[in-house]
Amino acid sequence: MLILSPSILAADFSVLGKQIKEVQEAGAQYLHVDVMDGSFVPSISFGMPLISSIRGTSDIIFDVHLMIASPERYIEEFAKCGADIITFHLEAVRDPGVVIDKIHALGKKAGISIKPATPIEAVLPYLGELDMLLVMTVEPGFGGQAYIPESTERIRQARKFVEERGLSTDIQVDGGITADNVHVVLEAGANVIVAGSAIFRGDIGQNVKDMLKSFEAFQK
């Protein structure tokens, strides 16, 4: 199943609740929530208080992407404030297996994200335990960047590893995805698509529909 996860990093925070409703009503299945700490990545976005308050406005699946150092310190808090899927960076932890177990023990889905320079093979020891593998298609830290073309081969490789092992792990892509280039990542094997600028700039409802139309065109 192909899933759209609009990233609220590109939303207008003064009307965030309204914009979340708009993406959900137009058919987006997840909401991508980028948490940045100014340490693992240069920028700071938002944290638990914002997630708690938007949790009250929508029942959409919260797909929380933690771009923070030592994320194991905060797993309980993110679970408590409303995350459904918690994705942390492989590069930010010492023992990824322990973090995955912690997320699962709280009844949440676990994802690992890897930066563009991290070999896909680095995630193989954990692949069997993961609900989702996030292959970053830009350097994490900012919205609005251009898709890194070398990502396509990495997505293909990730899909191959998942299939060879008979797993059902979702493969998520994040960064620089638009209705025009989404077919490239779908063809390579991604099935959970994050898009920020392409959804929240302009007519939000129409942007979601255009992206879903691109999904349909790919499936034909």
Ligand X SMILES: O=C(CO)[C@@H](O)[C@H](O)COP(=O)(O)O
The answer to the question of residue 145 lying near ligand X (CB under 6 A) is yes
Residues in 73-132 at the binding interface with ligand X, rule: CB under 6 A? none
7: left (phi over 0), alpha (psi -120 to 50) or beta: beta
The answer to the question of residue 143 lying near ligand X (CB under 6 A) is yes
Q: How far apart are CA 127 and CA 120, in angstroms?
A: 10
CA distances from 57 to 35, 103, 136 (A): 19, 24, 28
| Other beta carbons less than 10 A from residue 193's beta carbon | 26
Q: How far apart are CA 20 and CA 88, in angstroms?
A: 23
Annotated catalytic residue 34: yes
Catalytic position from the list 131, 170, 174, 210: 174
Annotated catalytic residue 101: no
Instruction: Tell me how far the alpha carbon of residue 140 is from its chain's centroid.
Output: 11
Burial degree of 154 (CB within 10 A; 0-12, 13-18, 19+): buried
For residue 54 the two structure tokens come to 């938007």
Nearest approach in angstroms of CB 164 to ligand X is 28
For residue 58 the two structure tokens come to 């929508």
Q: Is 113 annotated as a binding residue?
A: no
The answer to the question of residue 181 lying near ligand X (CB under 6 A) is no
Q: 8-37 mask for ligand X (x: CB under 6 A)?
A: -xx---------------------x-x---
Region near ligand X per CB under 6 A, out of 119-127, 141-149, 152-160, 185-193: 141-149
Q: 36-75 mask for ligand X (x: CB under 6 A)?
A: -----------------------------x-x--------
Nearest approach in angstroms of CB 180 to ligand X is 13
Q: How far apart are CA 36 and CA 45, in angstroms?
A: 5
Region near ligand X per CB under 6 A, out of 21-29, 114-122, 137-145, 185-193: 137-145
Nearest approach in angstroms of CB 163 to ligand X is 25
Q: How far apart are CA 220 and CA 216, in angstroms?
A: 6
Region near ligand X per CB under 6 A, out of 52-60, 153-161, 170-178, 185-193: 170-178
Q: Is 17 annotated as a binding residue?
A: no
Select the binding partner of residue 9 from ligand X, Fe ion, none (C-beta < 5 to 8 A, by kind): ligand X
For residue 154 the two structure tokens come to 């990495």
Q: How far apart are CA 31 and CA 23, in angstroms?
A: 8
Residues near ligand X (CB under 6 A) are 7, 9-10, 32, 34, 65, 67, 138, 140-145, 174-177, 194-198
